[in-house]
Each structure stands twice: as C-alpha cells, then as structure tokens.
Amino acid sequence: MQATIHNEFLTLTVDTLGAEAVSLKNAAGEELLWQADPAVWKRHAPILFPWTGKLPGGTFTHGGKTYKGGQHGFARDLEHTLLRAEGDTIELELRSDDAIKAERFPFDFVLTSTFRLEGKTVHHTLTVVNPETAAEELRFGIGYHPAFRIPFDASHTTTDYEFRFDQPESPMILDAYPNGLLTGRCGYRWKNVSAIPLTDDLFANDSFCMAGLRTRTLGIYEKDTGRHIVCNVEGYPYSLIWSAPAKPVRFVCIEPWQSLPGAECDPQAWTERAAAACLAPGQHWATTLSTTFER
C-alpha cells in the first residue's frame, strides 16, 4: 500500500513495504528519486535497521542461537503499518513479533518512520523504542540510503555534477573488502577539498564511507546551474556516497549512518557489535535526515 502527501513544492509517496519513499516530485512534476530499475539497482530509498552493511559470515549469535542476516538488516523488506497520512505527514510503524524474534532478531522493538514536508525539504525521522515490557537491552544499528536521479535533465551528463561539502574537508575513508566487511584500515582519498567530482568510474570499487566529517551538509550539485539536492548530515558519525557501477551514472546515494558494517574479525555475538544505541527497557532514541531539493 502507498500513501501520498504534498505541499506547493513537493509530492511524496511512501510504500508500506519497507516504509520506503518511492517517489518524490517537484512542482513541475519531475521525479527526483531513483525509480528502482532492477537492471541497475532495485530500491529507491531504503531504511537500514537493525544493522547497516553486512555481518561477518552473514550471521550473528544471541542466547546460544545463530541468526542469519542479510545486508542492511530487514526493516526494508517487511510490511510496516501505516499509522497516518494527512496534511504534511506520513507515519509508519514496524513492531517486533514472534516470527521476527524467532527468525530474524530476538529482541523487542518498535521502529517508527515519520516523513514530514516543510517547503522544499523532506524530514525523515526514525524513532526506536525498547518497550517497557522487554526482557533485555536493545542494541541496534541504523542508517539512511536515499537514491537521487542523475542527471537532472537530458541536457546534462555525469561530469556536470559534484558532491559538495559546506567547508573544506579531508574525509577519512574507512576501507572495506570486496565483500563489504571493514578491513580495519583507513586513509585519505581527498585532502582539503570542498567538492568531489562525479565521474562514471568514481564508484568502480563500491562506496566511500567517510568518518567524522565537520561539514553540516553534503549535497549533489549541478555545476553550471547550481541546482542541488542537499542532505543535513550534522551529527552523523558516518556519511557514505555510492552508486551502482552502471555507466553512465543513473543515480547517486548520500547515506548518513549512525553505525558501521561488521569487520572481518568481528565476533559473532550480537552484544559485542558496535551499536548506534543501547536502550534499556522503556527507553527510546531518534534520528532525523533532512533533505532539501532545489531543482
């Protein structure tokens, strides 16, 4: 099922499958999100929960049991309950149940996804609650993965675009193996730059995970016109940029994460994984991605 909200600038459609934004159009009716061509990449803007990236061995253990886990968790693949879609807001919820706890993730949780339009900005808030009735602490990872269409129109090509910070950056890149697990190494690809040029080969070796950015915003800009899509990444310890290895580039992702993929040497125990937050029963936690569309 899908729900749609709009204002004078934007029209947003969200699917209950994955609580995923599947369409965002501007006032001219132009689609701003990637439209999930399965020949290139089959998603639009998935949410990543209760982990980001991959798990070592594709599994984790808890309470003497082993659980299989695919990339980026499972919230993006399950039906969420639509709580409301009115005015400028869409709100959805995913609750753990017996099947989830038995097969995927043995912890109680309530994940609420709230989309709100404000002018040319989409605010997407993810709230996680460990219910008061829960038997144990809830540890989790979480992040965003929106994909934006490139080029903005037929008169532009890949190299007409660049990623921009709002101040010079020397991003520390966290290295990963081809299987997506972290190597434990890090280093510089760019130093004291305000922009990263987009090319068709930029993501030939997959994504760039940048740690500890000082910038408040990270956006994709059309160099000659100034049109842009900008994410507020302030407060996020990790910001990734990525696209599928198709040529020419068809979309770019700007991904603020609150947690990291597993490392090759990580233990299997869930309690020994680094987490975005560790919630005692009755506690809650929230994060918001605000994205502004000037195009």
- For 55-97, what is each residue's pLDDT tens digit? 999 999 999 999 999 899 999 999 999 999 999 999 999 999 9
Residues 197 and 178: their CA atoms lie apart, in Å, by: 23
Tell me which residue has tokens 């760039």: 208
- pLDDT value of position 179: 86
* DSSP summary character for residue 171: P
Q: Please give the structure tokens belonging to residue 202.
A: 């930029």
Task: Return d(Cα 116, Cα 37) in angstroms, integer.
Answer: 26
- 236-262: average pLDDT: 96
The residue written with tokens 């675009």 in the block is 161
Both tokens assigned to 79: 């039906």
Mean pLDDT over residues 156-165, rounded? Answer: 98
138/280 Cα distance (integer angstroms)? 6
pTM: 0.96
Q: How far apart are CA 53 and CA 17, in angstroms?
A: 20
- Whole-number average pLDDT of the chain: 96
Residue 174 is which amino acid? L
42 vs 80: CA distance, rounded Å: 19
Instruction: Summarize pLDDT for 6-57 with one digit per residue, the tens.
Output: 999 999 999 999 999 999 999 999 999 999 999 999 999 999 999 999 999 9
Q: How many CB atoms lie within 10 A of CB 138?
A: 25
SS3 call for 89: strand
Mean pLDDT is highest, among 175-179, 264-268, 282-286, for 282-286
Burial of 260 (0-12, 13-18, 19+ CB in 10 A): buried
